[in-house]
Structure 1
Amino acid sequence: MKLQLWQKTLDENKIYMLLTLSAFFEEHDIEPDKRIIMIISVKEHLHMLAEEISSYFPNLPDTPFALARSPFTVKVEDVAETAQEEFIELTNNDAARTDFSTMPVIKFWIKCLQSYPFLSETVLRLLLPFPTTYLCETGFSNLLVIKSKYRSRLVVEDDLRLCSCIDCPENF
């Protein structure tokens, strides 16, 4: 957000938010042409920085998290097809709406396990990725195997996800 704001203000050749650059321009009486070149350089740097940040933090689909946080604001189309009927029943249930507003999220979804099993299990898997220390320790053991001297890879997320997956495909 800040990077976008800074890029926008730099497009208008305003540098008030970059205090050090502003002070440098004032102290050294830089010519307008050289100022523009420096501002363009800063804009390019901000653009590259934004790309680098987005590669580390990609935009994740928000629907599963939104379903966990506030299920009554999610659209039916955004829910998995297999859970849409349960979702419609949940959103039309006034008692569930009241329960959601009065109890913690985890307790609400645990209470919904009986009435809406598929929807609740989906959300609880998201909210409780490591319900026991055993799964966490298994994940670390898998990481040690993946990061051995024989399989030295920089990116292990996909392999680790596959190793710690409970509902893994049978072919792997």
Structure 2
Amino acid sequence: MFPRFLQHIEKNIINESNFKEIKLEILLHLASLSQTFNRLFPEEKLETLRENCWVKDPFAFRNPESIVELNLLPEEESELMQLSSSYTLKNDYETLSLSVFWIKIKEDFPVLSRKSTLLLLPFTTTSLCELGFSVLTQLKMKKRNGLNGAADMRVALSSCVPDWNEQTSTPITLN
């Protein structure tokens, strides 16, 4: 399970008491990880995701019997049947990210799109928070500890692509 740890034990002579201490430390760390995962992903949320597995792959349910087993509302069932039978949308699903796919089809399948967006939104929010923290860490590591990093973070986290041609063609006026 831990090949490098075993290599370390084989290379270095480790007495029994040190080995027990290391083993206890590993067990404590694994227990801490388990508690963290249970706090971040409680069983209720996992159950909600299991019940709504159609969000991850709406094309896995081709026959009406499998769609009925999902316990969806009648209008959701109808939309999922239409969606899963469309080869054009299956191609879009395979080429686009999951969130972009659900947003793209919101006009044709409003009920499913809204429900899937609400289910996917927490993952996007968590991802953006992690990205923001990562950017902040990088900015702070560049010896900018005394500076306010808000402006740098805004630029680093922005999804807007600057139009460099317009930026360089406009003359700069100093007041």
- TM exceeding 0.5: no
TM-score scaled by length of structure 2: 0.43
Higher helix share: 2
